[in-house]
Amino acid sequence: MTDPGKTAFLSTYPDHWRNLLWALTSRDISTLTSLPWLPSERRAELGNFFAAPATRASLENILQMFVEPASSRRLGVYFENLWTFAFRYHPQYHLIARNLPLRVVGKTLGELDFVVRYLPDDVTEHWEVAVKFYLQVADVWVGPGLKDRLDIKLARTRDHQLPIIHQPEVEPLLRDQGIEIQRQWTLMPGRRFRPLDTATTGEDYWWSDWPSFLQAFADKPWHWLQLPKQCWLAPCTATHDTPPAALTDATRAINEKLKARGPLCVAAVDKHREVTRGFIVPDDWASRAQLAIP
């Protein structure tokens, strides 16, 4: 007997080059705080270089080898690997350090995501980067695993991760390594997912339990993909010649996956492009999310 969950939701694999371009050029998930967001012209500068056909022809195989052997399957590590590649191969950057630990007498105060030299201005920059995906619950944005919140992440970046270089104990640590940071940037692309009944098709990403998902999408002539974390970045382009499977046949298998793994990220594609994307969550996810919010 075939597993109906596998026939209803097809497998897909990450396109590392498209993910690289998405990481470099996507808008930040929020610009409502006083963080030093990377300017749009700097993003365009990075994106234009790696979008050039000649750059892709010479570097795509290197990127493949660069990201695939990574021991960690965490999305944040993959995202940082993409940025490490960009800093190493863009002609206007020199990578000085990644995840630079700041330790005093055996105590770790924190670490700096990236320290780079921006050659056009001849300045050393500290970058804090993250990729984030949040689901809306009431007026709060929470992570699918209920271990992260947008407001908390922004506050920690503003109040700890960036000011740490000015702590009296840290300045001599950096000086001893020949590092004088002259500028700081924050970069945090991602997506926000609204409850399905409030999302606007084509504009918003959504989250839903399985019954509401079926009610909204069971009659759509699309192929559905279950997205592993490395496919959460760039839009999907996969197309299929076979007719789509019936979503209603997958109920038992999907419920088992939701119980075992938690929320599932899925996307639908037609013959040309990705049509919609969202999270299917366990039936009790919304109530647990409410309890996790003070």
Contact 82, 20 (CB under 8 A): yes
Residue 177 lies in a domain: yes
Q: Are residues 180 and 242 in the same domain?
A: no
Task: Supply the pLDDT for residue 3.
Answer: 47
pLDDT tens-digit profile of 171-196? 899 999 999 999 999 999 999 999 99
Q: Are residues 208 and 126 in the same domain?
A: no
Question: Shortest CA distance to 210 belongs to which of 1, 2, 8, 43?
Answer: 8
Residue 217 lies in a domain: yes
Residue 138 lies in a domain: no
Residue type, 117: R
Q: Domain count of the chain? A: 2
Q: Are residues 181 and 198 in the same domain?
A: no
Q: How far apart are CA 84 and CA 95, in angstroms?
A: 8
Residue 100 lies in a domain: yes
Q: Are residues 28 and 101 in the same domain?
A: yes
Task: Supply the pLDDT for residue 229.
Answer: 94
Q: Are residues 244 and 179 in the same domain?
A: no
Q: Are residues 23 and 97 in the same domain?
A: yes
Tokens of 4: 């109906």
pTM score, two decimals? 0.93
Task: Supply the pLDDT for residue 70.
Answer: 66
DSSP string, 88-149: HHSTTEEEEEEEEEEEETTEEEEEEEEEEEETTTTEEEEEEE--EEEEEETTEEE-TTSS-B
Residue type, 230: Q
Task: Supply the pLDDT for residue 114.
Answer: 98
DSSP class of residue 161 equals: I
Contact 51, 23 (CB under 8 A): no
Residue 119 lies in a domain: yes
Element holding 109 (H helix, E strand): strand 107-118
Other residues' Cβ atoms within 10 Å of the Cβ of residue 208? 23
Q: Are residues 43 and 75 in the same domain?
A: yes
Residue type, 135: L
Contact 288, 146 (CB under 8 A): yes
Task: Supply the pLDDT for residue 161.
Answer: 95
Residue 236 lies in a domain: yes
DSSP class of residue 167 equals: S
Q: Are residues 115 and 70 in the same domain?
A: yes
Residue 103 lies in a domain: yes
Longest dimension (CA), the chain: 65
Q: Report the b/e string of 1-37 with b at 16+ CB within 10 A.
A: eeebbeebbbebebbbbebbbbbbbbebbbeeeebbb
Task: Supply the pLDDT for residue 239.
Answer: 66
Q: How far apart are CA 287 and CA 235, in angstroms?
A: 30
Q: Are residues 83 and 210 in the same domain?
A: no
Q: Are residues 110 and 251 in the same domain?
A: no
Q: Is the dihedral of CA 222, 228, 234, 240 positive or negative?
A: negative
Residues of the chain with pLDDT under 50: 1-6
Task: Supply the pLDDT for residue 4.
Answer: 44
Tokens of 198: 């409030």
Q: Are residues 109 and 165 in the same domain?
A: yes
Domain carrying residue 269: 4-11+192-292
Task: Supply the pLDDT for residue 23.
Answer: 98
Task: Supply the pLDDT for residue 91.
Answer: 97
Q: Are residues 210 and 74 in the same domain?
A: no
Residue 137 lies in a domain: no
